Amino acid sequence: MTIQDRSPEQIAGKPTSAARTTLSHIMTGSDTNLLGTVHGGVIMKLVDDVAGAVAGRHSGGPAVTASMDEMAFLEPVRVGDLVHVKAQVNWTGRSSMEVGVRVLAERWNESTPAVQVGSAYLVFAAVDENGKPRVVPPVLPETEKDRRRYQEAQIRRTHRLARRRAIKELRDARAAEGIED
């Protein structure tokens, strides 16, 4: 039996802290939008990068972004800010992992603590050399905060699946009625 024939429960789990990662970046003039603040897409790239690193670390190999949802921009980020993107695996399924990311900014011209400027939840699928999903080790939450994040991620997972199913049913029903759009 190879590891891929096993269920996640038959694989040794990994604690949340094993893959937790922070990526830091100083924002420059080339990161700005027309308003002069940092472009949301630049932040999203950092979020995807750190989440990919976390998913790769947790699963012990390559992982691809399956979805990114609830990307929230809470405060503008400015040129010169030192941005930290902090990520951890919140939840694991058979081959997918929900990664939670917090974005913090230290203002270069203020001696105040870093402020949270954004957050996001991403689903990554661990893949094999053929790009097919592979089994991941279950994440083992260590703290009460990890356990809360695990439970919240399960709620999001249930909603994602329900939404996907409902939309598919609607499209199938419209197609069955011969409606084209």
Ligand X SMILES: CCCCCCCCCCCCCCCC(=O)SCCNC(=O)CCNC(=O)[C@H](O)C(C)(C)COP(=O)(O)OP(=O)(O)OC[C@H]1O[C@@H](n2cnc3c(N)ncnc32)[C@H](O)[C@@H]1OP(=O)(O)O
Q: Between 67 and 158, name the residue whose CB sits nearer to ligand X.
A: 67
Task: Report the nearest approach of ligand X to the CB of residue 8 (Å).
Answer: 8
Task: Report the nearest approach of ligand X to the CB of residue 107 (Å).
Answer: 27
Q: Between 56 and 80, name the residue whose CB sits nearer to ligand X.
A: 56
The torsion region of residue 137 among left (phi > 0), alpha (psi -120 to 50) and beta comes to beta
Report the Cα–Cα distance between both ends of the chain, in Å, rounded.
Answer: 47
Q: Between 78 and 150, name the residue whose CB sits nearer to ligand X.
A: 150
Question: Pick from 65, 72, 60, 141: which is nearest to 101 by CA?
Answer: 72
Q: Between 80 and 93, name the residue whose CB sits nearer to ligand X.
A: 93
Do residues 100 and 20 lie in contact, with contact meaning Cβ atoms separated by under 8 Å? no
Task: Report the nearest approach of ligand X to the CB of residue 129 (Å).
Answer: 13
Task: Report the nearest approach of ligand X to the CB of residue 26 (Å).
Answer: 20
Q: Between 40 and 56, name the residue whose CB sits nearer to ligand X.
A: 56
**SS3 state at 29:** helix
DSSP state of 122: E
Do residues 85 and 102 lie in contact, with contact meaning Cβ atoms separated by under 8 Å? yes
CA distances from 112 to 24, 28, 81, 83 (A): 17, 20, 12, 14
Question: Which residues contact ligand X by CB under 6 A?
Answer: 48-49, 52-53, 56-57, 60-61, 64-67, 93-96, 123, 125, 127, 131, 133, 160
Task: Report the nearest approach of ligand X to the CB of residue 126 (Å).
Answer: 9
